Amino acid sequence: MNDAPEMAPYARHVMICTGAYCDPLRQADRLYHRLSHYLGELGAYDNPVRVKRGTTPCLGVCYGGPLLVVYPDGIWYHSVDDALLRRIVEEHLGNNRPVEEYIFHRLDGAPQPEVIET
């Protein structure tokens, strides 16, 4: 008998660090909950290109937060606040245009968002 769980399709996974070292003002939990609202249909379980979200106690950076990372893009953002979170959702996750001025690291070899010129 195989009782492995099933996973609905998704396109990206966003992780927010909730650790006290990079987020001494403890804003990350609030950002995580707001992310659900900002994602809207992008976060819907039956959307095949949905964005999953999660938190982690540490991403191994430990300053400059709140920190947020988008996979599989391997794009890391620093100093995330409400305004930047909205931009990440709208520009990066919604339109494949990462918010360049807040990126502090890119994973070598990660698939990059395909920008569609309009």
Structure tokens at 27: 């804003």
Q: What string of H, E and C letters represents the secondary structure of 66-116? A: CCEEEECCCEEECCCCHHHHHHHHHHHHHHCCCCHHHEEEECCCCCCCCCC
Does 104 bind ligand FES (CB under 6 A)? Our answer is no
Residue closer to ligand FES by CB (options 27, 88) is 27
Does 62 bind ligand FES (CB under 6 A)? Our answer is yes
Residue closer to ligand FES by CB (options 65, 113) is 65
User: In a 3-state reduction of DSSP, which class is residue 14?
Assistant: strand
Does 67 bind ligand FES (CB under 6 A)? Our answer is yes
Closest CA to 102 of 115, 88, 112: 88
Does 58 bind ligand FES (CB under 6 A)? Our answer is yes
Residue closer to ligand FES by CB (options 60, 109) is 60
Which stretches of the chain bind ligand FES, using CB under 6 A? 17, 19, 21-22, 58-62, 65, 67
